[in-house]
Amino acid sequence: MQEKDKNKLEEKFKPILENSSHVSWKPRTMLYPLPAVMISCGENEDDYNIITVSWVGTICSNPPMCYISIRPERHSYEIIKRTKEFVINLSNEDLAEATDWCGVKSGKDFNKFKEMKLTHQKGKMVDAPIIMESPLCIECKVKEIISLGSHDMFIAEVVNIQANAQYIDKESGIFDFQKANLITNSHGRYYKLGEEIGKFGWSLKKK
């Protein structure tokens, strides 16, 4: 990076450093913002369920692998442990209310698809259902379950993606993440994405 750009960074960071000190806190979960998703599971209509999880992520690019972490007392836990399958359904503005509701209520008490007026369709590579209203559904097969404490981590391979055609750019064939209006979960609050700051590699292109 050029000296003048470095000097600009130094100037920017100076007041940040001067006005701040760090305070140590006991360990807690503070990593945000996170993807807002609904996990669908079950092998037939009778036991289809939806659980909203915060602990979800990608763990490998090739093969594509994801994880979710769930408390053993949750209704979906036994279903996913038995069927070894789940679907990660990305959430957007239209689905925000359902995403919240499915995180608060239990599948022991409600048929969440019916309550939230969501539509299920059997996955292509898994028996677990996708949520048709979701812009993008990630079908996963569980490879390993690791007990960590309050949560068990389900390590899974992505076996298929179902993308809603209305968000696929007709010319490029690329999924338009911006058009999909994905939302994010930051410490229990749901947000729309705001202004774009830059695209991967933009820091190199600055003059």
Say if residues 90 and 180 touch (Cβ distance below 8 Å).
Answer: yes
Say if residues 130 and 87 touch (Cβ distance below 8 Å).
Answer: yes
| Interface with a second copy (CB under 8 A), residue from 43, 47, 78, 157 | 157
Could you tell me the smallest distance in angstroms from the CB atom of residue 64 to a second copy? Answer: 5
Judged by beta carbon, residue 14 or residue 82, the one nearer a second copy is: 14
| Interface with a second copy (CB under 8 A), residue from 106, 145, 153, 179 | 153
Could you tell me the smallest distance in angstroms from the CB atom of residue 151 to a second copy? Answer: 4
Could you tell me the smallest distance in angstroms from the CB atom of residue 44 to a second copy? Answer: 20
| Interface with a second copy (CB under 8 A), residue from 4, 23, 108, 172 | 23
Per-residue exposure over 117-146, b if at least 16 CB sit within 10 Å of its own CB, e if not: ebebeebeebebbbbebbbbbbbbbbeeee
Residue 175 DSSP class: B
23: left (phi over 0), alpha (psi -120 to 50) or beta: beta
Q: Whole-angstrom distance between the N-terminal and C-terminal Cα of the chain?
A: 10
Judged by beta carbon, residue 104 or residue 171, the one nearer a second copy is: 104
| Residue 58 touches a second copy, criterion: CB under 8 A | yes
Number of residues that bind a second copy (CB under 8 A): 108
Judged by beta carbon, residue 44 or residue 150, the one nearer a second copy is: 150
